[in-house]
Amino acid sequence: MSSDAVLYDYPGPRAKVRNLALTIVFGVGLLALLWWIYSRFDQKGQWAGALWKPFTYGSTWTDYILPGLQHTLEAAAVAMVLSLVFGVLFAVGRLSDHWWIRWPAGAVVEFFRAVPLLLLMFFIFFGLPFITEKPMSVFWAVVIGLTLYNGSVLAEAFRSGVYSVPRGQSEAAYAVGMRKGQVMTHILIPQAARAMLPVIVSQLVVLVKDTALGYIISYNELLQLGVNNLSANYGNVLQAAIVAAAIYIVVNSLLTAFAGWLSRRTRRKGRAPRAAAATVQQATIEPGLGGGGGAL
Amino acid sequence: MDVFSDPLNRDVYLTGFLWILKLTLAGGVGAVALGVLLAAMRVSPVPVLRGFGTAWVNTFRNTPLTLIIFFCYFGLFSTLGLSLADDIDVNNFWLGVIGLSVYTAAFVCEAIRSGINTVPAGQAEAARAIGMTFWQTLTIIILPQAGRAVIAPLGSILIALCKNSTIVGTIGLMESSNAMKELINANGNAVIPIFLVFAGTFAIVLIPTGYAFGWLANRLAVKR
């Protein structure tokens, strides 16, 4: 169905009245809920100016929120680059003709997709120092965790991207005498990457959100600095959380809009492989097939 | 594996995964119920309902779950005094369920909405032609067909929910990741076996679950 408006007729006089009535009933309910939240805030003194005022101080932004956001974006950026590399390597590994490459690569990808990221980060941050007998940098604990998880998700995305390239492409490449490696790097990966671009960018949103896990192992990201430390000074945990949430929503909405723009652009030009449009849609709802999937 | 022959440690492990199981079940029920409701709102003829659904999805899908859980505890419970149970663990459990449901419902809503988009327009048009109302069209014609198309994405979402439930550990529940941390700190000589047991439990349960959902989705797919 192309438009949701197919589900109901153009409203006639009675439907208009009914819709208006529903609007009013729901609107009143919503206002009542908002009023309840407002009065609850009021009752606990959460509207007090002192709790909101810190957000007008320059130091709140320069000492807490902006450095926090910077650390969040740093970890996300480094992890994104590394997980793209990881993803390509393991996607190619899983597509290999040799079982002794294909099986281990598949096992690694399936394993890291099925293990909760927090568990992985705890192991890297608290567990590995016992083995290496050196303290683990919290930045790298976050980045390595994010890389292993998101890299595995991206490996599956690339793999289904490669499958979406019409078979004629690789057959033609073999016909002109290219070797396996050349077919992969010159023909399949560039087309798969373009087809999977929206999925890759959506995964970036997941990555940005997952940096917040760094808070649990006390990495100085937005949640740690902007909410935890800030509210330790001003006692405004609720307000700080709301502001931090707004920042996350803005950053991620921009990324989502970018992903949407990219997907429209590749579709319009008709450059993406023919079968890819369907696969992209599929992959957007469901990143990867089977296994311990689920990349929220 | 000596670590797990100690009944105390085995208890930590079992309690951890029992919490994960409970969080996944309760969170899953909450998320699916809320998600279907939100999806119905997003395709409804009433603009206010559509706006509410859209706002919900855009807000919660773009906020880190860690922040939502954090907010449930420090905002709802500590600051606003919303207490759900006398026992602190049970209270934190329910706060976690609220956070997980609210967050996951946004994804369930989007999955169902894209499922609705896979139903050919002719189905809804035929339903309208024989005089069905919006509610009838949605519940009798569209959702049953959409439901079969969203099994695979819903499976992915439930698997993600199960993994995400470890985040409730942020607010002090001794779920599996906190349990693992405790065991690692107490048994520095057996870090790798401890990790393999905890991670392996997730992998052994979740990887087949993923394939089972894939198989089920294929079996129930509407052949067109």
**pLDDT tens readout for residues A247-268:** 999 999 998 888 888 878 776 5
Count of C-beta atoms within a 10 Å radius of residue A260: 13
Which helix (H) or strand (E) element contains residue A31? Answer: helix A13-43
How much is the mean pLDDT over chain A? 85
Segment A70-77 shows an average pLDDT of 93
Kindly state the tokens that stand for B114: 């894209």
B69/B53 Cα distance (integer angstroms): 21
A215 pLDDT higher than 50: yes
> Whose CA is closest to B80, among A36, A32, A224?
A36
How high is the pLDDT of residue B1? 57
**Cβ contact B46–A22 (<8 Å):** yes
A144/A132 Cα distance (integer angstroms): 16
CATH number at residue B64: 1.10.3720.10
How high is the pLDDT of residue B96? 94
- The better pLDDT of the pair A52, A150 is held by A150
- Domain of residue B44 covers 2-220
**Cβ contact B64–A223 (<8 Å):** yes
A287/A266 Cα distance (integer angstroms): 19
Kindly state the tokens that stand for A44: 């606990």
> Residues B137-181: pLDDT tens digits?
999 999 999 988 899 999 999 999 999 999 999 898 899 999 999
A105 pLDDT higher than 90: yes
CB A141 within 8 Å of CB A125: yes
**Cβ contact B48–A249 (<8 Å):** no
How high is the pLDDT of residue A296? 61
Kindly state the tokens that stand for B76: 């709802």
> Residues B19-33: pLDDT tens digits?
999 999 999 999 999
How high is the pLDDT of residue A1? 43
Kindly state the tokens that stand for A179: 């070797």
Domain ranges for chain A, please list them. 1-37, 60-285
The domain tally of chain B equals 1
Q: What share of chain B in percent tops pLDDT 90?
A: 69
> Whose CA is closest to A154, among A211, A98, A213, A91?
A91
Chain A, chain B: beta-carbon pairs less than 8 Å apart: 227
B154 and A CB contact within 8 Å:
no
Segment A63-69 shows an average pLDDT of 89
CB B100 within 8 Å of CB B66: no
Count of C-beta atoms within a 10 Å radius of residue B113: 21
Residue B133 phi/psi, 5° resolution?
Answer: -80, 175
How high is the pLDDT of residue A282? 42
The mean-pLDDT minimum among A68-72, A216-220, A261-265, B128-132 falls in A261-265
How high is the pLDDT of residue A196? 84
B64/B57 Cα distance (integer angstroms): 13
Residue B201 phi/psi, 5° resolution?
Answer: -60, -45
From the centroid of its chain, how far is CA A164?
22
Kindly state the tokens that stand for A71: 């650390």
> Residues B31-81: pLDDT tens digits?
999 999 999 999 988 889 999 999 999 999 999 999 999 999 988 888 888
In this prediction the pTM is 0.88
Kindly state the tokens that stand for A10: 């153009």
Segment A188-208 shows an average pLDDT of 86
Kindly state the tokens that stand for B49: 């309902």
- The better pLDDT of the pair A215, A3 is held by A215
CA distances from B42 to A256, A293, B110 (A): 19, 26, 9
Segment A153-178 shows an average pLDDT of 92
Segment A174-191 shows an average pLDDT of 92
Highest mean pLDDT among A95-99, A224-228, B100-104: B100-104
Q: What share of chain A in percent tops pLDDT 70?
A: 88
A234/A54 Cα distance (integer angstroms): 8
How high is the pLDDT of residue A287? 40
A3 pLDDT higher than 70: no
**Cβ contact A1–B111 (<8 Å):** no
B163 and A CB contact within 8 Å:
yes
CATH number of A60-285: 1.10.3720.10
A110 pLDDT higher than 50: yes
- The better pLDDT of the pair A259, A1 is held by A259
A275 pLDDT higher than 70: no
Segment A277-293 shows an average pLDDT of 42
Nearest by CB to A126, from B134, B170, B184: name it. B184
Task: Assign A247 to helix, strand or coil.
Answer: helix
Q: What share of chain A in percent tops pLDDT 90?
A: 48
**Cβ contact B157–A296 (<8 Å):** yes
> Whose CA is closest to A197, among A253, A251, A264?
A264
A272 pLDDT higher than 80: no
B66 and A CB contact within 8 Å:
yes
How high is the pLDDT of residue B3? 80
How high is the pLDDT of residue A290? 42
- The better pLDDT of the pair A239, A146 is held by A146
**Cβ contact B203–A114 (<8 Å):** yes
DSSP chain B: -GGGGSHHHHHHHHHHHHHHHHHHHHHHHHHHHHHHHHHHHHTSS-HHHHHHHHHHHHHHHSS-HHHHHHIIIIIIIIIT-----SSHHHHHHHHHHHHHHHHHHHHHHHHHHHHHHHS-HHHHHHHHHTT--HHHIIIIIIHHHHHHHSHHHHHHHHHHHHHHGGGGGGGT---HHHHHHHHHHH-GGGHHHHHHHHHHHHHHHHHHHHHHHHHHHHHHPPP-
> Whose CA is closest to B162, among B206, B200, B199, B210?
B206
Break chain A down into helix, strand, coil percent, rounded to 5. Answer: 80, 0, 20
State the best of B207, B215, B216, B224 to mutate against chain A, taking most chain A CBs within 10 Å. B207
**Closest chain A C-alpha to B87 CA, distance in angstroms:** 23
CB A207 within 8 Å of CB A146: yes
